[in-house]
Amino acid sequence: MLYELVLIAIIGIASLCLLYKNKLKANELWNKNRKGKNMASVISLVLSSIILGILYKNMIAWEGDCRISRGQALLPVLLGLLSVPLSFVFFLAIGLGFKAVTGFAPSDGPALLASFNHALFSAALNEELAKLIITLIVLCIFRKKWRNVYEYMLAAGAVGFGFTIIEDFVYSAGFAGLLMRLPNITVHMMLGLAMGRHLGLARYNKATGSGSVVKEYLLAYFVPVFWHTVFDFFAANMLIHAGDNVEVMTAEIERTTHIGAAMVVAIVIPIFIFQIYLFRRLKRNAANLAELSFPTAM
């Protein structure tokens, strides 16, 4: 029954996001390639659900014989879907605050500065805050059932799984966008694993008195924010859009777009390789992380 509820929620929220996406686009631009974009969004939804679903199932199995329950496994994914609209609320608040202080939007100004501001203030801060809040809610709901640091990582990674499903559905605008996002499909899950590790260590340190609790809570947010900013600075840089809405493509504009494209490649390829390495290492170290258990777990 839980699987059916998750599927219904995914389809429902994805449909609402698609409707919202249709409203945001100018009708004359959207209608041009509407069929292709919708198809790309659906393909992205299916692929991300299958790929991340298989990976997540394997991650659960890596813990060994003593595994999390079905509810612990599925609820983070389900609530992770809600982290996308929640992040949009934070996006509006942070954007308004940024403009009130600086007098311009994060995406304004010189291309490199705009790339950094957009990556930090329009993506990393709000998205990681939304995922952190959802993760904490999930951890509180099953507080007496989480037994170790690895299970905290599973919970936060599952929230990233849910976030990815909706984000890829909304932002895979055409098959080119789909192909660009597919190689790094596990980014939000990896950021969730980092978040969950530090949240788990915070509880472990509190239970055992072996380290700083506050430091681990701070790292649970700022480590994902840092790496999210780095990734988006390269992958979603503003230089690649230098030729948009210009009547004459000059040599300087063309050179700028080429630099922007090179920045995308410079982050996409290493992250693609790194995610393979990370999940192989996680498989080897799952037992060690599971040994970092909480004495108060029931």
d(CA 30, CA 223): 37
| CB count in 10 Å sphere of residue 158 | 31
Tokens of 228: 């999210």
**245-248: long-range contacts, CB 8 A cutoff, minimum separation 24:** none
Give me the mean pLDDT over the 11-28 stretch. 45
Tokens of 272: 């693609």
For residue 155, the one-letter residue type is A
Handedness of CA 276, 281, 286, 289 (dihedral sign): negative
Percentages (nearest 5) of helix, strand, coil residues in the chain: 85, 0, 15
d(CA 138, CA 145): 11
Predicted confidence at residue 72, as pLDDT, reads 97
Domain spans, the chain = 2-291
Note the helical H segments in 182-298: 187-208, 213-235, 251-291
Contact 198, 220 (CB under 8 A): yes
Q: Which residue has the higher pLDDT, 219 or 172?
A: 219
pLDDT digit string, tens, across residues 192-215: 999 999 999 999 999 999 899 999
- In the predicted structure, residue 27 carries a pLDDT above the cut 80: no
Give me the mean pLDDT over the 291-298 stretch. 76
**pTM, rounded to two decimals:** 0.86
pLDDT digit string, tens, across residues 95-147: 999 999 999 999 999 999 999 999 999 999 999 999 999 999 999 999 999 99
Q: Which residue has the higher pLDDT, 61 or 9?
A: 61
pLDDT digit string, tens, across residues 29-73: 444 555 556 777 788 888 899 999 999 999 999 999 889 999 999
pLDDT digit string, tens, across residues 232-256: 999 999 998 887 777 777 889 999 9
Residue carrying structure tokens 């994060």: 106
Give me the mean pLDDT over the 260-288 stretch. 95
Given pLDDT bands bounded at 50, 70 and 90, which one contains residue 263?
very high
For residue 297, the one-letter residue type is A
Q: Which residue has the higher pLDDT, 12 or 86?
A: 86
